[in-house]
Structure 1
Amino acid sequence: MSAYWRLAACVLACLVPPAVSAAEVQPAARWSMDNVRALLDVLAAVPAEGLNPDDYGAAALQAAADRQDARLSDLADAAALSLAHDFYEGRQPLSARPDWHFVRQPVDYRPWLDEVTASRSVPGSFAKLLPQNADYSGLRKGLERCRVTRLDCAVIEANLDRWRALPRMFGRRYLWVNVPAYRLDLIENGAVIASHRVIVGKPGSRTPLFRAMVTGVTANPWWNVPCSIVDESIGKLVRTNPGEAARRGFVATTDAQGKLVVRQKPGPGNALGQLKLEMPNPYSVFIHDTPSRGLFARDARALSHGCIRTEAPDMLARVLLGRERAEGLDRALMTGTTTTIPLAEPLPVYVVYLTVEPDPAAAGAVVRHRDIYPGY
Structure 2
Amino acid sequence: MLIDIKSYYCMSNAALGGKSANKLDTQGVVSSCVEESERTLKMDGQCYYNETIAFFYNASKKHLATEWNTVSKLVMGLGLTVCIFIMLANLLVMVAIYINRRFHFPIYYLMANLAAADFFAGLAYFYLMFNTGPNTRRLTVSTWLLRQGLIDTSLTASVANLLAIAIERHITVFRMQLHTRMSNRRVVVVIVIIWTMSIVMGAIPSVGWNCICAIKTCSNMAPLYSNSYLVFWAIFNLVTFVVMVVLYAHIFMYVRQRTMRMSRHSSGQRRNRDTMMSLLKTVVIVLGAFIVCWTPGLVLLLLDVFCEECNVLAFEKFFLLLAEFNSAMNPIIYSYRDKEMSVTFKQILFCQRQENINGTVEGSDRSASSLNHTVLSPHNNDHSVV
* TM-score of the aligned structures, taking structure 1 as reference length: 0.25
User: Which has the bigger relative contact order, CA under 8 A and spacing at least 6?
Assistant: 2
Query: Radius of gyration: which is bigger?
Result: 1
* TM-score of the aligned structures, taking structure 2 as reference length: 0.25
In terms of fraction of residues, the more strand-rich structure is 1
In terms of fraction of residues, the more helix-rich structure is 2
